[in-house]
Amino acid sequence: MSEELKKGLEGVLVAESELSYIDGEAGQLVYRGYSIDDLAREASYEEVLYLLWHGRLPNRDELQSFSDAMAAERTIDGDVLDNIEALANADEDPMAALRTIVSSLSASDADTDANPTERDANFRKGRRITAKIPTALAAFVRLRNGDEPVAPREDLSHAANFLYMLNNEEPDDVLAETFDMALVLHTDHGLNASTFAATVTASTLADLHSAITSAVGTLSGSLHGGANQNVMAMLKEVDDSAKDPTTWVEDALAEGRRVPGFGHRVYEVKDPRARILSEKSEELGRAAGDTKWYEYSAAIEEYIQNEKGLAPNVDFYSASTYYQMGIPVDTYTPIFALSRVGGWIAHVLEQYDDNRLIRPRARYTGDSEREFPSIDDR
């Protein structure tokens, strides 16, 4: 047994997966053999879910049936809504609220007593969890703001329905398509920390709700989720200053501050998701007649790339994209979860299909052969 220590399990292979592949040197991301560029521009979030969960793209009838089945699960139980209202009234952190909400969804799930590895039951659970998270998140945001929740509609897409429930207004095609693209881009990304947490939980034969709750809790940490919130805070600070973006960044770095949204554990070049979202950020700005958020971002990207050799990750351009869509900044990470839940579920299904309890070792570095003193001698 190897005694080589790999902090953070960096570079350690712990599983085989057919779901997504990342080429960090080339800046490529693939879901089940399909380029993220093609999927983001051509496929809906529902199509990508079907692809990840079932191993292939659906035909027209399969997609309609799948979308209808998920749309029918959007309504949340009254007890869950009461819980959401209590969390909103307590001004709970959105990610902490989402963690609690996901866990509570199991109480009203029709398959809650099913065997954790029963595949058909897990597909049904997965549809319900994925369908209900947008409803719960939109209700939380509205209740926190003193507004009544908006009931979901079954005639809208997954992306459009969330924006409708959030704003009580049906989004135009540009906003709906942009948000759908953002969901596709964030659906899966290999064995990242939250996905690994979900699979570790599933490996104990805990149920799907427990695994997804673990993932949400893991995503709440600042080293995994939240970077796009920090990016938007930075862009606002640039806007409030009298400085151009390059000067602002120069001064920030001179003060020892970190510029968020750059670098990635996997990518050595520009994150392909950032490349796509930068285009959407510019498009939204042009449509609104104000491209300043995109222009700030592009100027900062150029400076950091030239001076530090670092490329932006997906969080860098998702910040300005979401902001221009009117999405509250502190819900950016919950929206990450709203999308990534599809990937989490796919990985948990893989884990259940070929399960082995995940149990790594730690190298002991403590004392040895200590004599036990009596309580009077301590």
To the nearest whole number, what is the mean pLDDT of the chain? 94
Residues contacting 9, CB < 8 A, separation 6+: 360
- In a shared domain, residues 233 and 196: no
1 found inside a domain: no
252 found inside a domain: yes
Q: Which two tokens stand for residue 216?
A: 């949400």
Q: What is the pLDDT of residues 198-214, one digit of tens each?
A: 999 999 999 999 999 99
At residue 41, φ and ψ (nearest 5 deg) are -90, -25
**In the 3-class helix/strand/coil scheme, how is 302-355 assigned residue by residue?**
HHHHHHHCCCECHHHHHHHHHHHCCCCHHHHHHHHHHHHHHHHHHHHHHHHHCC
Residues contacting 141, CB < 8 A, separation 6+: 94, 166, 328, 331
- Of 125-129, 147-151, 226-230, give the lowest mean pLDDT range: 226-230
Give pLDDT, residue 276: 93
Question: Which residues pair with residue 23 across a beta bridge?
Answer: 28
- In a shared domain, residues 258 and 307: yes
- In a shared domain, residues 209 and 89: yes
| Residue pointed to by tokens 């099913």 | 114
Q: What percent of the chain has pLDDT over 70?
A: 99
- In a shared domain, residues 216 and 236: no
- In a shared domain, residues 137 and 125: yes
| Residue pointed to by tokens 């902001």 | 323
User: Mean of the pLDDT values across residues 358-373?
Assistant: 91
Answer yes or no: is pLDDT of 306 > 80: yes
Q: Residue 336 in contact with residue 225, Cβ under 8 Å?
A: yes
* CATH code at position 237: 1.10.230.10
Q: Residue 48 in contact with residue 11, Cβ under 8 Å?
A: no
- In a shared domain, residues 278 and 347: no
Cα–Cα separations (whole angstroms), residue 344 to 255, 258, 365, 369? 39, 30, 34, 44
Answer yes or no: is pLDDT of 2 > 80: no
Q: What is the pLDDT of residues 246-256, one digit of tens each?
A: 999 999 999 99
At residue 147, φ and ψ (nearest 5 deg) are -105, 155
- In a shared domain, residues 190 and 277: no
pTM, two decimal places: 0.94
- In a shared domain, residues 109 and 146: yes
- Of 4-8, 185-189, 335-339, give the lowest mean pLDDT range: 4-8
The count of domains in the chain is 2
- Of 33-47, 140-154, 283-297, 334-348, give the lowest mean pLDDT range: 283-297
Question: Which residues pair with residue 35 across a beta bridge?
Answer: 30
| Residue pointed to by tokens 């919950």 | 334
Give, for 139, the enclosing helix (H) or strand (E). Answer: helix 119-144
85 found inside a domain: yes
- In a shared domain, residues 106 and 212: yes
- In a shared domain, residues 237 and 191: no
By annotation, the residues acting in catalysis are: 264, 315
Give pLDDT, residue 180: 97
49 found inside a domain: no
219 found inside a domain: yes
What residues make up the domain containing 248? 226-325
33 found inside a domain: no
- In a shared domain, residues 216 and 274: no
User: Mean of the pLDDT values across residues 96-110?
Assistant: 96
Give pLDDT, residue 1: 60
Judged on CB neighbours under 10 Å (0-12, 13-18, 19+), 279 is: middle
